[in-house]
Structure 1
Amino acid sequence: MMDDRSKLLLKTLVERYIADGQPVGSRTLSKTSGLELSPATIRNVMADLEELGLIASPHTSAGRIPTARGYRVFVDTMLTVRPAQLSFEDSAIAPLQPDQPQRVIASAAHLLSNLSHFVGVVTAPRKVGVFRHIEFLRLAERRVLLILVAADGDVQNRVLFTAQDYSPSQLLEASNYLNAHYAGLTVDEVRERLQGEVDRLRVEIATLMQAAVQAGSDAASDEAAQVVVSGERNLLEVSDFGNDLGSLRKMFDLFEQKTQLMRLLDGSSRAEGVRIYIGGESGVVPIEDLSVVSAPYEVDGQVVGTLGVIGPTRMAYDRMIQIVDITARMVGQALSQK
């Protein structure tokens, strides 16, 4: 627990360190906090904050810097975001054009990187898998070709290896039943309905439907497994990382593999609004010196992807929140126009 004096000093210290990048001493806090406290009193408060794990003292300085836990307290309880600082009319934010979805995603990643001066990351939009037509064709014994036609005419073919052999008439009957009862539903809606109806469906129809749902989910996952990353080299200019080749190597490995980024951003897509991960607290990006500010973006009211900024824990979180929030709305707006 902290009293108001401790909170104000922590807030002042974090803001000063974000602005200057230098450890903050008691004399600086005495001048900038607005509190009429002696440097000795401030040192005592800083000692308490250090004991709480909110600030730390670098070996080379008598000043203090925030820890990941200190940044978390700052972001959760002390940060004030003024939405008027950035707007769609800002000359630095060019409208994203909806002519090609992939171009919108690449432009958004580049925009995030340019505005933040860190790394911009965007996942490609996931299609909402809606069945318009389903067809099963027998290829060989216990091998069936599944044909899924989406609402936009996109066709997905999957070969199913079944536990039993199906005759052409059984496959036709299953196709007709499924098209009559499930066409026009999304993969998730079919899955939910199927859970309630599977006991009263004929075994072969239930089995084929479950296989179709799984294949539809796999197709959506294949399309979603695209991450666009822009501005990795910006981290080379960050003084916090400049002399730490080990951390830089970890970061660039992360950006190249992209699997961990997908897991992180997929988690963010289930949250409302902007989400902030500080240090290694996400469990997905295990780098203590990195923070991630992310938000989902929507198309026609459906969350279809996520974007964000990755940079040092010493970042202007209020500005990053604005950048990510506005870019997410711009991407959704651009993709909804296509």
Structure 2
Amino acid sequence: MTIPNDDQTRLLSELNDRSREVFRRVVEGYLETGDPVGSRSLTRTMSEKLSAATIRNVMQDLEYMGLLGSPHISAGRVPTQLGLRMFVDGFMEVSALHANDRLALDQTLGHEPDIGTLLDRVSGTLSGLTHGASIVLAPKHEAPIRHVEFVSLGPERALVVLVFADGQVENRVFTPPAGQTPSSMREAANFINALAEGRTLSELRGQMSAEITARRQEIDTLAAALVESGLAQWADHGQPYERLIVRGQSNLLDTAGDIDRIRSLFDDLERKRDIAEFLDLAEQGDGVRIFIGSENKLFSLSGSSVVVSPYMNAERKIIGAIGVIGPTRLNYGRIVPIVDYTAQLVGRILSGRAKG
């Protein structure tokens, strides 16, 4: 769990200089290798010459405080979740953004006309740079709709083409209700287009609910089902965010020892309600936030950590979020500036487009 600030202050006050250095070196060693750190290896790196027995005594004290743990009786120590939280908040040194990382991100955010495609590319680049799974919570498009069209791609797949008044076009693939025909799709599209002009998706959603209730008997049953199902893909009722992009899942599978728990994480990632709550948590702090293990219910089953930052529009309103998911031994010091820079870059790009 998250350590309250007063408890952090108390724990830090109980650590002398020797304890602080042993703690920091254990955590840094674990984050670098993923292996327990033993007292003998620390004798070669400490700033003062200490015996392995002395270091073991210090490590035992840190274990008693709940900051370190022993995975095996004869093994070295690893940081607990409490210890990782303490390290991140009080000991971690955040490195400057590497020039190569900056260049890769700058090249990703080119002049791509479609925002969805641009954010897909950002997500892929972020995953590649951090070797984790990236998440991008995309903003909801609020421009009025000009035209909607459904295209059948097979018995269980259909494409919806959304043309907005500002010229943006979005294509979404979704699973239609069973038994759809080309004629029912045309009827559904005609029904939507008759109501859509001048309305945003959110406004259209409410209007269509009323229209469907009032005219239920006037339209084909299958077409009504398609309308309801299709719109559910575009604008979740009562939710301010409509699209979640996840890239690099295989990076988690490569580093995870428990595949079932990671699969559970992927299932959770599909639940946008929790993602929206997750963004709310990110909004409570300035800039980048770090959630370790069970500090956020969305990731508690996976034993993972997430580094996340909201991004803002020109009015400084939070409209989405960008983050990286990985094992708890993430290289936090390197990933924090990458996520921070990416969020600022995306915010500037989207703000510039809104002004244009």
Q: TM-score, normalised by structure 1?
A: 0.69
Corresponding position of 1:229: 246
Change (3 A) 1:154 1:23: closer
Corresponding position of 1:26: 39
Corresponding position of 2:309: 295
Change (3 A) 1:157 1:246: closer
Corresponding position of 2:340: 325
Corresponding position of 2:132: 118
Corresponding position of 2:230: none
Tell me if the contact between 1:290 and 1:311 (Cα under 8 Å) persists in the aligned partners: yes
C-alpha RMSD over aligned residues = 2.9
Residue 206 of structure 2: SS of its match in structure 1? strand
Residue 119 of structure 2: SS of its match in structure 1? helix
Unpaired runs of 5+ residues, structure 1, are 131-145, 162-217
Q: Which amino acid aligns with 1:305?
A: G
Tell me if the contact between 2:66 and 2:83 (Cα under 8 Å) persists in the aligned partners: yes
Q: Which amino acid aligns with 1:237?
A: D
Corresponding position of 2:277: 263
Q: Distance in 1 between matches of 2:77 and 2:27?
A: 9
Q: Distance in 1 between matches of 2:69 and 2:201?
A: 58
Using the TM superposition, give the Cα deviation of residue 267 of structure 1 relative to its aligned residue in structure 2, in angstroms.
2.2
Tell me if the contact between 1:124 and 1:226 (Cα under 8 Å) persists in the aligned partners: yes
Structure 1 position 307 matched with structure 2 position 355: no
Residue 107 of structure 2: SS of its match in structure 1? coil
| Identity percentage of aligned residues | 37
Q: Distance in 2 between matches of 1:288 and 1:29?
A: 30
Q: Which amino acid aligns with 1:271?
A: G
Corresponding position of 2:191: none
Change (3 A) 1:268 1:324: same
Q: Distance in 2 between matches of 1:286 and 1:334?
A: 33
Residue 295 of structure 2: SS of its match in structure 1? coil
Using the TM superposition, give the Cα deviation of residue 22 of structure 1 relative to its aligned residue in structure 2, in angstroms.
1.4
The match for 1:17 among 20, 30, 35 is 30
Deviations 1:281-309 (A, max 9, x none): 12332236210100011121322111100
Q: Distance in 2 between matches of 1:42 and 1:56?
A: 15
Q: Distance in 2 between matches of 1:272 and 1:127?
A: 25
Q: Distance in 2 between matches of 1:58 and 1:96?
A: 43
The match for 1:99 among 113, 116, 124 is 113
Which protein has greater RCO, CA pairs closer than 8 Å, 6+ apart? 1
Change (3 A) 1:233 1:88: closer
Change (3 A) 1:232 1:295: same
Unpaired runs of 5+ residues, structure 2, are 1-13, 145-194, 211-234
Tell me if the contact between 1:264 and 1:285 (Cα under 8 Å) persists in the aligned partners: no
Q: TM-score, normalised by structure 2?
A: 0.66
Bigger shift: 26-35 or 38-47? 26-35
Tell me if the contact between 1:297 and 1:303 (Cα under 8 Å) persists in the aligned partners: yes
Q: Where do 1:200-239 residues align within 5 Å?
A: 221-222=238-239, 224-238=241-255
Q: Where do 1:119-138 residues align within 5 Å?
A: 119-126=133-140
Using the TM superposition, give the Cα deviation of residue 29 of structure 1 relative to its aligned residue in structure 2, in angstroms.
1.3
Change (3 A) 1:115 1:89: closer
Q: Which amino acid aligns with 1:37?
A: L
Using the TM superposition, give the Cα deviation of residue 312 of structure 1 relative to its aligned residue in structure 2, in angstroms.
0.5
